[in-house]
Structure 1
Amino acid sequence: MSEIRIDDLPVREELRGKSPYGAPQLDVPVRLNTNENPYPLPDALVERIAERVREAARHLNRYPDRDAVELRTRLAGYLNDTALPDAAGHRIGAANVWAANGSNEVLQQLLQTFGGPGRTAIGFEPSYSMHALIARGTGTGWISGPRHDDFTIDVEAAEKAVAEHRPDVVFVTTPNNPTGNAVPAEAVLALYDAAQAAKPSIVVVDEAYVEFSHGASLLPLLEGRPHLVISRTMSKAFGAAGLRLGYFAAHPAVVDAVQLVRLPYHLSAVTQATALAALEHTDTLLGYVEQLKKERDRLVAELRGLGYEVTDSDANFVQFGRFEDAHAAWRRILDHGVLVRDNGVPGRLRVTAGTPAENDAFLEAVRALAKDAAPAENDVKKNEEHNA
């Protein structure tokens, strides 16, 4: 068979020269580069998954529940219990929730519905790179919005960008990936109001890491805002990255609209059964989240104690630097058997909070890195003193 490359195929022009999303998966003792939950599922949950999947397997000759009603009902219950605890206030039901194969499919379906050729989406970068990639894959034009030097959203400039470009979809990631900082509710409300005045537009708040946040979910903002969508995932807090289950909460009309583009029977019976089992063990799984929050805060404190610049983090990862050559620093850490993420933010790297032992190994690696850099810094300081 003759050898051909992607560029030899009649692919769409906007895909030429591009690379697929992905983080390097290297065989090293400690992998802290993909924001996974490091704790395996507890035995009781594994057994419950086996029971539910065994029951689902008896009916695999039939298509799964196309609308995943039981799962959406349980997801709504989880959101009510954790993000809308006031029984007298706003509550949501299955009609407000949609689920798909990971939050990436959720985002893709939203862009297929509200974006597409001739339409645009805006995000405030650096942020989750899949927003731009999915936009490109759906033929949606992408606009990169502004941030301050401390990686917070420049709200005034962002409002002006929304007013100028009049995007069809606005993405706000909180806590933000890869920087880790949260976006205040006031900023989201300002952008929502700007988006409605300009178009109006769909505003998607990506809360993939919200369970790790110091603050509250923005889910209460849904009330009275039919163009607002809150996206979530079970990959992080639930320790179920291998499950591939994402979901969003929004006005029922948004859920109905997305079903116009969803593939038939898109969520398998096995996926639905596994997710339902996990939702039965939320207390245990959220207990692991509390452990990871403590470990994340320990990483922040230790890194700052070593002299690194650390972005405030509300996620299960920490962005740190600054490095003159971030990739060289990434390589030096890798030489100690620890894999972190170099995702292109100038001068910075990102580390996922792991188990205490994994975090100890990482801190040992960055201590060595800081020690190696110290002589060069001292030479610079001596030269400055001499020249003075």
Structure 2
Amino acid sequence: MESSLDKQQMRDWLEEVLPNALMECKEPKPEDDTIIVYEVNRLFDWVKIKRLKSYPNSIIVPIVTEHLTYSTGIAIELVLPALLIKPLQKSKFLRIVKKLHTSYQEKKGSTLTMLELTQQISQHQTSPFREAFLKRLIRGEIDNEQEIIQSASFLSTNCIPNMVFLIQGYIDVNEKRAHPQDACSIITTVIQQKFAHKAPLSFLHFERYLLLLLRIPNDYNSFKHWSEGKACLLEVIETLKKDHCIHLFMGVGGVFQDAMQVKESYSQARKARRKPPIDNIHIRYYEDLTKHQLLQKAIQFIEEHFDEQLSISEVAKYISFSPTHFSRLFKKETGRNFVDYVAFTRIIKTLPFLRKFDYTVDKISSTCGFNTPNYYSLTFKKYVGISPTDYRNTKEILFK
């Protein structure tokens, strides 16, 4: 490790779980039994790791800096049992070290090949190989089929996702009952339980949102058309709300059978999450967003001028439509009438003010285009289900 602080941090973590079991070494002797954690800061470091592979009793775990995540495929080619991505997370680091140490202890008297160890560890749901691969997949960093084929050692072909859900949520602490301490674990557990034996799934954790990567049956080109899956999703939302005071809100991307196009589903899920839902406040499907270019232009105008007193005539004139024709087409394409859509857009714009700032409801309502604080509060409760003040008191769920 280049950073002495990082090295000391790792020493402290290791002492917590494996006191006196591990020691720092510059380079092992051929006969030593070693687990080597090696930092990859430049591409040439992979060459050094390849040289370390010549030590028959060594298990190597690279820690790859963020700007080199595109090179993690080399770890697969070297048949390494695990890898970690910086910034280093204590829980993931210790999980990998303990797993490798345990495997070594259990098989100390037998021959254990690197391939066997890779197969033993990397198929686990939280495998760093799997996580790194999926992150690169949704970012569009995988651009050839060879990498997809190589992923088979830690992610079987029938588990590669074909769609993405972007999930956010809050805990309603206004309810007078016990509230979960680890909402993220509860959410992932409930989702896994409801979708068990129905569809392979994976999770990627980011601070303010959770990605659910799902592979729905090939018979369906839309999640909406898969009635069994849609029912499971509604059960997840209801169970978390009823049993754990957890309210989820998600954007749903499209289905892409080509693995290298799953990045599009991720992009679509992000866009859908930011738009007013049609009939269920908890779910917004990208495929329901209008593809009509002039209406997209009108919606952009609404989002840019939400704090002004918008009229249907003004917006219709902006795209050269008559108010009557615009009103009819807008409802057909967005699922909401003009007044509802504008009101919901304004509510979405008020959420950061409620969550991050100490603005009064009066100031927020006037800042975001509502005529009166009372009208804002009534509209907010109509669409969200709770008052602005109660929403302010909820606890946002952080997933990382």
TM-score tier (shorter): under 0.3
Structure with a larger share of its residues in helix: 2
Greater gyration radius: 2
TM-score (norm: length of structure 2): 0.24
TM-score (norm: length of structure 1): 0.24
